[in-house]
Amino acid sequence: MNSSSPETVPEKTPEIVIDARGHHCPVPTLRLRKALAAALPGQRLVLLATDPMARVDVPHFLNESGDLLLDLQAEDKVLRFSVEKRGGAPRS
């Protein structure tokens, strides 16, 4: 019997990686929004972006959406946003 409910993330659910390197805003944020719409609450997502404006746009979007920015790292001009889906069931 599966003890996880349909609205929560099973323990071994892989994180979703969104590769938006080479795209200018708003593309990274739009791709993140689409991935979050399909994600389960508690699921982790990683957004990779090279547009410096993503550093501003992504946190602003997450503030509006209610999802959680766990971490932001920058290495070799690549921004790596670690995000957790919050809220209800996936939106379609």
Give catalytic residue positions: 25
Q: Are 32 and 47 in contact (CB under 8 A)?
A: yes
- End-to-end, the C-alpha distance of the chain in Å comes to 27
| Residue at token pair 């019997």 | 1
Beta partners for residue 45, in sequence order: 16, 83
For residue 89, what is the DSSP state?
S
Q: Are 54 and 29 in contact (CB under 8 A)?
A: yes
